[in-house]
């Protein structure tokens, strides 16, 4: 098995995806790890598929072009594949808001842990997103317990044998599976460590969920998180 499988969902990131993948190849290669980067193109409508085609013959990169199903379901699809192939599973978004060079801090903190979760340091949020983050954090704290400070951070490392059984608790259409997984790791008293990771504003692309759509998504995520807790 690989040491680590990186799960990277992608949607309309043609401007930066090449540089992002290359940075991860360089970082993981320099660390001497055996790895696979699973890049899931979630039905992008720009030139993302063409940009990804440049890595078709790169053995450490697996490109999955799929119909659009949303960020959460795409992450779950990646997790389901990754736990079968690697001892550890790492999830990161493709927008380069959290850079590959910070992965080593997460990796070095894994000893004695079942999960290492990034804490976005320096993150600037619009008011609506601050509300969504606060609601997610409060929901997990009340229903599952405390212990993870950034419950939806897309910079997280899981031990595969601990992650795999918990995936069966999460429906395939879950909007924010990382929130539910944060809760389940706390609920089942897994060993979790929080590591601050520098966060930068995106410089390419655009956020796909905004304003009222964001708030509707937050309500959906909250309800799904409640259902997963008692399901």
Domains of the chain in sequence order: 2-230 (3.90.550.10)
For the chain, give the DSSP string.
Answer: -EEEEEEEEESS-TTTHHHHHHHHHHHHHHTT--EEEEEEEES-SSSHHHHHHTTTT-TTEEEEEE----HHHHHHHHHHHHTTTEEEEEEE-SS-SS-GGGHHHHHHT-TT-SEEEEEEET----HHHHHHHHHHHHHHHHHT-S--SSTT-SEEEEEHHHHHHHHTTS-TT-S-HHHHHHHHHHHTT--EEEEEEE-----SS--SS-HHHHHHHHHHHHHHHHHHHH-
Q: Give the per-residue pLDDT at 207.
A: 55
Residue-by-residue pLDDT tens, the chain, 231 positions: 999 999 999 999 999 999 999 999 999 999 999 999 999 999 999 999 999 999 999 999 999 999 999 999 999 999 999 999 999 999 999 999 999 999 999 999 999 999 999 999 977 767 777 777 888 889 999 999 999 999 999 999 999 999 999 999 999 999 999 999 999 999 999 999 999 999 988 666 555 555 567 778 788 888 999 999 997
Q: What's the rounded Cα separation, in Å, for the pair 112 and 182?
A: 17
Q: What's the rounded Cα separation, in Å, for the pair 205 and 69?
A: 19
pTM of the model: 0.93
């Amino acid at each position: 098995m690989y040491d680590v499988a990186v799960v990277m969902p992608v949607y309309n990131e043609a401007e930066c995806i090449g540089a992002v993948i290359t940075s991860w190849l360089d970082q993981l290669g320099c660390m001497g790890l055996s790895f696979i980067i699973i890049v899931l193109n979630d039905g992008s409508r720009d030139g993302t598929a063409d940009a990804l085609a440049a890595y078709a013959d790169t053995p450490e990169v697996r490109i999955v072009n799929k119909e659009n199903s949303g960020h959460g379901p795409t992450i779950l699809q990646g997790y389901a594949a990754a736990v079968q192939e690697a001892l550890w599973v790492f999830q990161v978004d493709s927008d380069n808001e959290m850079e590959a060079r910070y992965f080593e801090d997460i990796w070095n903190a894994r000893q004695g842990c079942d999960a290492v979760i990034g804490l976005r340091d320096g993150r600037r949020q619009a008011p609506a997103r601050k509300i969504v983050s606060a609601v997610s954090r409060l929901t997990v704290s009340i229903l599952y317990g405390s212990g993870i400070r950034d419950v939806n951070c897309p910079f997280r490392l899981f031990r595969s044998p601990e992650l795999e059984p918990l995936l069966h608790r999460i429906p395939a259409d879950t909007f924010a599976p990382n929130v539910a997984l944060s809760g389940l790791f706390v609920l089942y008293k897994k060993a979790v460590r929080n590591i601050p990771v520098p966060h930068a504003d995106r410089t390419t692309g655009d956020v796909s969920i905004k304003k009222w759509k964001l708030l509707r998504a937050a309500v959906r995520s909250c309800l799904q998180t409640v259902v997963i807790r008692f399901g």
